Structure 1
Amino acid sequence: MIAICAFLMPLAFVSCGGAKQEPMELVIERGLANSKQQALLMAKSLEDKDGELPRTFEDSILKTCNYRAWISGFFPGTLWYLFSVDSDKELLSYAQMYTERVEEAKHVTTNHDLGFMLNCSFGNGYRLTGNEQYLDVMKTGAQSLASRFNPNMQLIKSWETSKKWQYPVIIDNMMNLEFLCFMAKETGVVNYLDIANQHAQKTLINHFRPDYSCYHVVSYDTITGMPHF
């Protein structure tokens, strides 16, 4: 058996070494083409279902959500990214359609997910088209997100208070800071940048373990401002 393995191993290396690899450019092009095809199929499947956005698949059935879901901006964001490398008018039309379905998220003040909701959708739309109406939506959304910042805590509150948590902050919140930083640059509202910096600094102090892994949730005492859970 050992002799057989010793004989076959060199042949395996010769075979692998002699195989021609497909150029990465072609791999990327094929991946983007497949992604475009799938995205358009999904877009068309919900075209007549006003306000609905794709969420996930369960038992081969498409489950949907509305603008209130924290992932509501992901699908329009996907369409915008595909449009950015394709310039297909059909992609543009659907990107605009599904972005509009997220607009009411600009008024959400009950969670910290405005960056996911609006930056993925309206942010990419504004970046690629320069549509000032998209920026107006984002201005309102930035105000809504900033309303969850407590200067005494120096943090944006992720979720509402519960029996378990007084002032819950999750690590995901860091990904929403990009939205505030971008809006500070676009609007000149320096307070947005200050909020993002304060939140990041306090997260750096309290969210990470000695081995550099992080807690998902840290809840802060609303009186002392220190973690209690």
Structure 2
Amino acid sequence: MPLASVPADEWRKMQRTLLELFSENILAKMLRVAVEALENNVPPTVYPEFVPQHGDSAGKYFLRDADFWTCGFFPGILYLLRERAVRYPQVFPYLGHEGTRVPVSSSSLRHQLAELCCSWTGPVKAMMSRTDTHDMGFIIQPSLQKDWELTSNEDSLHAVLTAARSLASRYVPQVGVIRSWNILRQTDVLIASMTDDCLVIIDSMMNLDLLYYASKHLADSSLAEIATTHARTLLKSLLRPEPTPVGNDRSYKNPLYSTFHVVNFDPHSGGIKQHRTAQGYRADSTWARGQAWAIFGYAKTYNWTKDKDFLAAACGLADYFLWRLETAPLCVEQPAVGGELDCQKKIGRYVPLWDFDAPIEDESMPLRDSSAGVIAANGMMLLSQSLAVLGDTALAEQYQLAAMRIVSDTIELSLSRERAQLAGDPQNENIITVEDVVNGQRFDSILKNATANHNSQSHDHYSDHGLVYADYYLLEFGNQLLRMGLA
């Protein structure tokens, strides 16, 4: 649907909802976690990962060992806030501007953000030479690449470039892929041979950006060649062609694709031994976050290569994601809560189920993954920019609108209602503290309803919670809007 055909009231409502991306609540929550999680944790050995929604620990971040793949996202959140403070002061109207509730100076906040960024990034930088993981992009780029781009810190650039070489060391030329995992262990399977197995996951598409970025800085085409070969191999091994839906209003210009999560290659022949899932419902289902990683990863890969095969893949993946959102069971739509003039308003249509093919266990509260939605939205927004450059304005507007609908709906359904706000000493504007808007009501993450892993065979099984990368990609979407001049 072109933006021009969106009803004006829907467009205004969506724009108002998206203002939450720049709210005091978001800044206050992240500052509080950044300060409190450093208590007895300097330098950090554990990093925020998820926030339980239920039980005795509800509302407080669970801190995970620093070597876990998610360690880069919380420092990345701080850098996204720092980017806003430096480049987009218009979205910080509560920092010492006229009429603010708390006399907090913008210079004090920038100074505190810089110190917190440094504290949380130090141990991440030390991981730049790791060769035991393919997640070097997730670990290094959110903070250290951003630090380089904001401050011209050559040490941070060195870490990014070193991390790219570390990632490239996992390349298996006989298969044409970067090995993702060394081992897959579940209750019914153990795949652990480094000589007879080569495990690759769809998430790996997101780490290719690191190789392309370093390739340009180093003038080393081999890094880009590895990334492109990996992306091409996954086109054939992890993307599944899907039939074009019949009787749908959307026009599809490209073949549609769903995704497998895991493929195990024979490292000698390059052939596929089997497909599996580690976090989805079953091997042949479509795990929502895997589909989202693929959309964003192929959109990024197209931007580097300008290869139309990758653009077509990203569009086909996005269209399939949207079709599954639009055709999900009616129970995904929930009554809007609080303050709505229209008491019949429903929300949740665009917040994906955790796996598009999994049975719904509780129709009154379907299990979702809000992180999958905001990741996919970032990919679609990037796609919209690429298509606009190519002159395909109609499709560009469709993806821009879809991305904004997903994020707007996610905010309406999954935003934590336990809000925080800045507090300060009226006599000293350099003292910045955080308090609950309603005393005693606290939830550390911005979004709820994320699901890290609901696979029944997994040993690391947890769902329906706040999640650090859901918040990271929510804030990244806001920063994308700022960079595009849409906010």
Q: Shared topology, TM-score over 0.5?
A: yes
Alignment of 1:71-220 (within 5 A): 71-87=70-86, 88-161=110-183, 163-164=190-191, 166-211=197-242, 212-220=257-265
1:4 maps to none
User: Mind listing any 5+ residue stretches in structure 1 that lack a counterpart?
Assistant: 1-16
Q: Over residues 30-53 of structure 1, what are the superposed CA-to-partner deviations in whole Å (9 max), with x where a residue is unaligned?
A: 734221111100001022312232
- Identity among equivalent pairs (%): 29
Give, in whole Å, the separation in 2 of the partners of 1:147 and 1:23: 45
Normalising by the residue count of structure 1, what TM-score does the alignment of the two structures yield? 0.85
Contact 1:32 1:82 in 2 (8 A): no
Any conservation in 1 of the 2:172–2:267 contact (CA below 8 Å)?
A: no
Q: Confirm or deny: 8 A CA contact 1:169 1:218 kept in the other structure.
A: yes
Q: Secondary structure at the match of 1:47?
A: coil
Match of 2:267 among 209, 212, 222: 222
C-alpha distance in 2, partners of 1:23/1:175?
Answer: 28
Output the aligned Cα RMSD: 2.3
User: Any conservation in 2 of the 1:66–1:102 contact (CA below 8 Å)?
Assistant: no
Structure 1 residue runs of 4+, over 6 Å off?
A: none
How far apart, in 1, do the equivalents of 2:63 and 2:38 lie?
Answer: 12
SS in 1 for 2:61: strand
Report SS of the residue matched to 1:71: coil
1: distance between equivalents of 2:153 and 2:200? 33
Higher RCO, 1 or 2 (CA under 8 Å, sep at least 6)?
2
SS in 1 for 2:142: helix
Aligned residues: 212
Distance 1:37 1:183, change over 3 A: same
2:32 corresponds in structure 1 to 41
Pick from 41, 47, 54: which aligns with 1:53? 47
Closer/same/farther in 2, CA of residues 30 and 222 from structure 1, 3 Å limit: closer
User: Which deviates more from structure 2 when the two are superposed, residues 203-212 or residues 49-58?
Assistant: 49-58
Deviations along 1:152-201, one digit per CA (max 9) or x if unpaired, are 11100000045436101000000000011111111112111011000001
Contact 1:67/1:104, CA 8 A, preserved across alignment? no
Distance 1:179 1:117 in 2: 10
Query: d(CA) in 2 for partners of 1:225 and 1:66?
Result: 34
Q: CA deviation at 1:28?
A: 2.2
Distance in 2, matches of 1:29 and 1:213, equals: 31
Is the Cα–Cα contact under 8 Å of residues 171 and 217 in structure 1 kept in the other structure?
Answer: yes
Partner letter of residue 239 of structure 2? Answer: F
Over residues 73-111 of structure 1, what are the superposed CA-to-partner deviations in whole Å (9 max), with x where a residue is unaligned?
101111111111113221122112211121222122112
What is the alpha-carbon distance in structure 2 between the residues aligned to residue 203 and residue 96 of structure 1?
36
User: Unaligned 5+ residue runs, structure 2?
Assistant: 1-7, 87-109, 185-189, 243-256, 275-487
